[in-house]
Amino acid sequence: MTKQPKLLTFLIVLSALLFITSIGLVFFYAPLEAVMNYVQKIFYFHIANAWVGMLGFLVAAAAGIFYLVKKDLKWDIVEVSAVEISLVFFFIAIVSGSIWARPTWGTWWTWDARLTTAAILEMIYVAYLMLRQGIDDPDRRARFGAVYTLVGALSVPLTFLSIRIWQTIHPAVIGVQSAGAQGGFGMTPPMLFTMLFSIFSFSVIFVTLLWIRVRLGHLTAQVDELKLKIAE
Amino acid sequence: MKNTPSITHASFLRAVFSIIWKDLAAELRSRELLSAMLIFALLVILIFNFALELTPSLRPAATPGILWVIFSFAGTLGLNRSMAQEKDRGCLDGLLLAPVDRSAIFFGKMIGNLVFMMIVEIIVLPVYSFLYNFNLFIPGLLLVVLLGSIGYAAVGTLLASMAVQARTRDILLPILLFPVIVPLLLAAVRASGGYLQGLGMDVIAPWLNLLVGYDIIFLAIAYMVFDYVVEE
C-alpha cells in the first residue's frame, strides 16, 4: 500500500491535462454570450464544481450505508474522504455562483431553492466533520458518521423540495427556451460541449483526489495501528 | 419458553411506557429540565420584544417564526439535558442491558422528550398570546405545533444520542440538528403562518403534507439506525 499505483499516476496526469484543456475551451472555444459576455464563462466551472460537490455527497452517503452493513472501516475512509473533497468543491461552486450572480442578478445571494439547499448542504458537511472530530473511538466515529450522512442524505432533497414549493429565481440552463427565469440563456452546441467537458474534467479530478485521500486514510490507519503496537 | 407475538408486542409497549414513566417521574421530582426550558423560552420571548418591533400589523407574519425559534432552542436545551442525564447517570448502560428491543429505548426517550417539549409549548402559547394580545389557540396551529414537535423530537433524540457521546457535546447538537431540521421548520412556520393569517387549505395543505411526510420518514429512519448509535 505504499507505492503509488500506476493507474493513479496516470489519473493525476490526465486530470492536469483535462483541466488545462477545459480552461482553453472556456476561453478560446466557447462563444461569447450575447447578454452577459465574459461573466457567463464562470458558469462552466461553477456547474462542474457544483456537480462534483453533489456527487461527493452521494458517494459519502453510499459509503455510509456500506459501512453500516459490512462494518468494514475502508468504507468509512471513503466516506470521510468524499465529504472533505466535496466540502471544498462545493464551496468553490457557491463562491463562483455568487461572483456570477452579482453582475447578473444585482445581488450576491438569494434565498431560492438551489442556493439555500447549497448553503445547508455545506453546513451539513462541516457539521459532519465536527461530529467526527469529537469522537476518538474509530468504530464509533465510523458508525456516527454513517448515520449522519444517511440523515443528511434524506433531509437535503426534502429541503430542496420544500423551498421549491415556495419560490425560485435560479435560471434554467439546459434548453433553448430557457430564458424564462431571470438570467437564463440558451446554449449553443459549443457551449454545451464546453460545459459537458468541464463536468467530465472535474469528475476525473474528483476521482483522482478521492483516491489520493483514501490512500492517505489507509496510511493514517496503519500508523495508528503501529502506534498502538509500540505502546503495548 | 417461547414468546408468542402478543407477549412480545406487549413487552415492547411496556418497555416504552416504563422509559417514559421513568423520565417523567424523575423530572417531577427534580424539575431541572422543565424549569430550564421554560425560563429560557420566556426569556427568548422577552428578547424578541426588543429585537423586533412587533406592531399589531406585523404580528401575524412574524409570530410563526418567533414561536418556532423559541421551540427549537428550548427543544435543543431539553434534548441535550435529557440525553446527558441518561449517559452521566449510567442509565443508558442499564437500559442497554435490559432484555428489550433497542428501538423501545428510542421511542421511550423520544416520547419523553416530546412530552417535555409540549409542556413548554403549552405554557409558551398562552403567555405569548397574553403578552402580545394575539390569540394563538387556533386548532390548526395546535396541530402544526404537534406535528412539528414530533419530527423535531424524533430527529433530535437520534442526533442527541450521538452528540452526547462526543467530546464537544453541548455545542454539537444544534450544529448537527439545525441543517437537517430545515424542511420541518420551514413547513411548520409556513403552515402556522397560514393558519394564523386565515389562509385557505389549498395554501396550507402542501406544508401539512410535508410535515407528516417528514415525521414518518425520520421516525422510520431513527427507528432503524438507533441500534448503531447506542451499541458499545
Q: Which of A136, A144, A150, A161 to mutate to test the interface with B (most CBs of B within 10 A)?
A: A144
**Amino acid B220: pLDDT:** 93
Nearest CA in chain A to B232: A140
Residue range A12-23: mean pLDDT, rounded: 92
Tell me whether residues A151 and B180 touch, CB distance under 8 A.
yes
> B interface toward A at CB cutoff 8 Å?
155, 158-159, 162-163, 165-169, 172, 175-176, 178-183, 186-187, 190, 206-207, 210, 213-214, 217-218, 221, 225, 228-229, 231
Q: Residue A135: list chain B partners with CB under 8 A.
A: 165-167
Tell me whether residues A130 and B172 touch, CB distance under 8 A.
yes
Residue A54 clears pLDDT 60, i.e. is over it: yes
**Amino acid B75: pLDDT:** 92
**Amino acid B76: pLDDT:** 92
Longest dimension (CA), chain A: 70
Query: What backbone torsions phi and psi does residue A37 show, to the nearest 5 degrees?
Result: 55, -135
Beta strand extents in chain B (DSSP E only): none
**Amino acid A172: pLDDT:** 40
Q: Which of A130, A143, A162 sits opposite B183 (nearest CB)?
A: A162
Whole-model pTM above 0.90?
no
Q: How far apart are CA B158 and CA B74, in angstroms?
A: 17
Q: Residue A163: list chain B partners with CB under 8 A.
A: 186
Q: Which of B152, B176, B185 to mutate to test the interface with A (most CBs of A within 10 A)?
A: B176
Q: What does the pLDDT look like over B96-151, one tens digit per residue?
A: 887 778 888 899 999 999 999 999 999 999 999 998 888 888 899 999 999 999 99
Show the cell assigned to B57.
400589523
Which band of pLDDT confidence, cut at 50, 70 and 90, is reported for residue A181? very low
**Amino acid A174: pLDDT:** 36
The interface predicted TM-score of the complex, written ipTM, equals 0.87
Tell me whether residues A130 and B206 touch, CB distance under 8 A.
no
Q: Residue A66: list chain B partners with CB under 8 A.
A: none
B151: burial class by Cβ within 10 Å (0-12, 13-18, 19+)?
A: buried
Asked if residue A24 lies in contact with residue A210, where contact means CB atoms within 8 angstroms, the answer is no
Tell me whether residues A159 and B217 touch, CB distance under 8 A.
no
Higher pLDDT, A145 or A183: A145
Give residue A167's identity as a one-letter amino acid code.
Q
CA distances A168 to A98, A116, B11, B230, Å, are: 16, 10, 50, 41
Q: Which of A133, A147, A166 sits opposite B228 (nearest CB)?
A: A147
Tell me whether residues A151 and B167 touch, CB distance under 8 A.
no
Residue B51 clears pLDDT 60, i.e. is over it: yes
Show the cell assigned to B26.
424523575
**Amino acid A43: pLDDT:** 87
Q: What does the pLDDT look like over A82-107, one tens digit per residue?
A: 999 999 999 999 999 999 888 888 88
CA–CA min distance B77, chain A (Å):
18
Q: What percent of chain B has pLDDT over 90?
A: 43
Closest CA to B211 of B189, B179, B178, B180: B189
Which band of pLDDT confidence, cut at 50, 70 and 90, is reported for residue A13? very high
Tell me whether residues A146 and B175 touch, CB distance under 8 A.
no
Tell me whether residues A144 and B162 touch, CB distance under 8 A.
yes
Q: What does the pLDDT look like over A153-179, one tens digit per residue?
A: 999 888 888 887 776 434 444 333 333
Q: Considering chain A, what is the average pLDDT of its residues? A: 85
**Amino acid A184: pLDDT:** 56
Q: Which of A131, A139, A163 to mutate to test the interface with B (most CBs of B within 10 A)?
A: A131
Higher pLDDT, A174 or B214: B214
Q: Between A and B, how many residue pairs show a Cβ–Cβ distance under 8 A?
A: 86
Closest CA to B132 of B62, B190, B230, B39: B62
Show the cell assigned to B185.
421548520
Q: How far apart are CA A54 and CA A49, in angstroms?
A: 9
A73-105 vs A189-231: helix crossing angle, rounded to 10: 140
Q: Residue B182: list chain A partners with CB under 8 A.
A: 120, 155, 159, 162
* Secondary structure (3-state) at A155: helix
Q: Which of A68, A126, A152 sits opposite B180 (nearest CB)?
A: A152
Nearest CA in chain B to A151: B180
Nearest CA in chain A to B214: A158
Q: Which of B167, B186, B214 sits opposite A134 (nearest CB)?
A: B167
Q: Which of B159, B165, B182 sits opposite A140 (nearest CB)?
A: B165
Count Cα neighbours of B95 within 13 Å in the Cβ-side half-sphere: 26
Which band of pLDDT confidence, cut at 50, 70 and 90, is reported for residue B9? low
Which band of pLDDT confidence, cut at 50, 70 and 90, is reported for residue B8? low
**Amino acid B32: pLDDT:** 81
* Secondary structure (3-state) at A37: strand
Residue B68 clears pLDDT 70, i.e. is over it: yes
Residue A180 clears pLDDT 50, i.e. is over it: no
Q: How far apart are CA A228 and CA A51, in angstroms?
A: 40
